[in-house]
Amino acid sequence: MKLKHLFAILLCCLAISATAATPKYVFYFIGDGMGPGQTMTTANYYRMALGDTAGLPMMSLPVNSYVTTHSYSSPVTDSAAAGTALSTGHKTRNGMIGMSADTTVVYSVAKKFHDAGYGVGIITTTAADDATPSSFYAHVPNRNMFYEIGRQAGESGYEVIGGASLRGTNGGNNDLMSYIESCGVEVVKGIEAMRKSDSRRVLLLPDVYVDNNDIGYAVDSIAGALTLEQMTSATIDHLMKHTPEGFFIMAEGGSIDHACHSNDGGTAIRETIAFNEAISRAIDFYKERPDETLIVITADHETGGMTVGNGHTGYNYYPQYLVPQKASKSSFSRYCDKLTHDKTPITWEEMKQVLTEKFGFYTVVPISDGDDKRLQHAFRKAFIEGSDERTQSLYSNIGSFSNEVFDMLNRIAGVGWISGSHSGNYVPLFAIGVGSELFMGQNDNTRVPVKILKAAQLDD
Ligand SMILES: [Zn+2]
């Protein structure tokens, strides 16, 4: 009887210590546009094309579940409403940031961590004032109010905010940057500058500017461009220096979405790999502090209705044909535009060589006689006759020859697409660490931040 009693007390103590365990370090990774198709085309690329049997790092984590993404106003969310749900736990209308549907200001999990004394880092491969990152520090009825969003970034008090640009500065033609500096934030350009800075609060921007909307696609291998992996490592080190007692980091792989808006399969896969390289840094951190770390990875929505396999490949997928790709659809289109703009003469034979160098066409990627005729026809129209029918997607404007090349690459590799927009498909969630068991089973997006706060015992 006495022994039984002792055992009961022991169990009780164990239960208390189990519930008392809270993460000191929380990583929240959001793959923008990363649905099941983006995840599985990449996982198969890893396994089949690269021969990596260990698989995608995020998929190896013990918790694999899923998240529903509908917004207050639509079954198909945008990144503003999805970001607000993932950051604050409130559904809102598409386009709104950090406000519920009736425009009541609602606060993010990042602010709650910050108020509780944790250091906070909000980093993305897209603009630092884009919908997902701004959902963690701003409150505006329209996601395009970049000036107001930028001011609120300064006012947030967060230790790190970083991304490809801050669009609200309007190219330096207003007082936004000086306002942010007056809030006690040092603007650092590039990773080295961030590592050298002694300031507790930094705004990280690229030293090699690529684009307002992206730090530069991984597939384009732009010399000196930021990577999410570098940004994540530098943010971990920065926060361990200034707030070693605890931190919250939100890292967004935002360019997955941009590649999917233009139905660029190989680029979406490389972005998902780059996202996983950043996640690997968090997993390394977790391995050193397994009892103090929580990692949660999910997406805000799916983009493009991307699938493994399409009508052309039937019951198959050939990711090896995407391995030689060395240019994103938007950078290849810009390359073609420059040729046309500069009136640089180019023959079909020369372009054929370019297609081999940049995409492995005719060598790795099998181009049939019919495909070759289609390419030549598109080449003639765009470069000889000068009639270029362009396709505008959310983040790119693509010429007709580039569209033909990428449609062909998707078709032959077996990457399927439904649209250039978001879909209402559910998205995956992966987790490991203290409190990760809370994320098992189905989650609505509004539940994810609630569970993060619960894990940290910051829910009230
Ligand atoms: Zn999008």
- What confidence score (pLDDT) does residue 53 get? 87
Question: Are residue 260 and residue 154 in the same domain, yes or no?
Answer: yes
150 within some domain: yes
| 117 φψ region: left (φ > 0), alpha (ψ -120 to 50), beta (else) | left
Residues of the chain short of pLDDT 70, as ranges, are: 1-20
Inter-residue long-range contacts of 237-240, CB under 8 Å, 24+ positions, other chains counted: 237/195, 238/121, 238/159, 238/160, 238/194, 238/195, 238/202, 239/119, 239/121, 239/159, 239/160
Question: Are residue 82 and residue 197 in the same domain, yes or no?
Answer: yes
Q: Give the three-state DSSP class for 92.
A: coil
12 within some domain: no
Ligand 1 centroid to Cα of residue 322, in Å, is 23
Ligand 1 centroid to Cα of residue 92, in Å, is 17
- What confidence score (pLDDT) does residue 20 get? 55
- What confidence score (pLDDT) does residue 337 get? 93
Question: Are residue 396 and residue 432 in the same domain, yes or no?
Answer: no
Location of structure tokens 């942010």: 180
Q: Give the three-state DSSP class for 121.
A: strand
Ligand 1 centroid to Cα of residue 303, in Å, is 6
Question: Are residue 298 and residue 350 in the same domain, yes or no?
Answer: no
Q: pTM value?
A: 0.94
Question: Are residue 154 and residue 246 in the same domain, yes or no?
Answer: yes
Q: How many domains does the chain have?
A: 2
Question: Are residue 103 and residue 207 in the same domain, yes or no?
Answer: yes
- DSSP of 161-178: EE-S--GGGGGGTSSHHH
Residue 76: CB atoms within 10 Å? 18
**Alpha carbons 31 and 48: distance in angstroms, whole number:** 22
7 within some domain: no
Location of structure tokens 């009639």: 387
- Determine what percent of the chain falls in helix, strand and coil, rounding each to the nearest 5: 45, 15, 40
138 within some domain: yes
Ligand 1 centroid to Cα of residue 179, in Å, is 29
117 within some domain: yes
CA dihedral 257, 259, 265, 267 (to 10 degrees): -120
User: pLDDT tens digit string along 437-447?
Assistant: 999 999 999 99
246 within some domain: yes
Question: Are residue 263 and residue 408 in the same domain, yes or no?
Answer: no
User: pLDDT tens digit string along 97-149?
Assistant: 999 999 999 999 999 999 999 999 999 999 999 999 999 999 999 999 999 99
Query: Which CATH number goes with the domain that contains 288?
Result: 3.40.720.10
389 within some domain: yes
Ligand 1 centroid to Cα of residue 273, in Å, is 18
Q: Crossing angle for the helix pair 400-413 and 369-379, nearest 10 degrees?
A: 160
188 within some domain: yes
Residue 22: CB atoms within 10 Å? 16
Ligand 1 centroid to Cα of residue 367, in Å, is 31
Question: Are residue 172 and residue 93 in the same domain, yes or no?
Answer: yes
Ligand 1 centroid to Cα of residue 254, in Å, is 9
Question: Are residue 28 and residue 134 in the same domain, yes or no?
Answer: yes
Question: Are residue 298 and residue 170 in the same domain, yes or no?
Answer: yes
Question: Are residue 301 and residue 328 in the same domain, yes or no?
Answer: no
Question: Are residue 300 and residue 245 in the same domain, yes or no?
Answer: yes
Residue 374 belongs to what domain range? 324-412
Ligand 1 centroid to Cα of residue 420, in Å, is 9
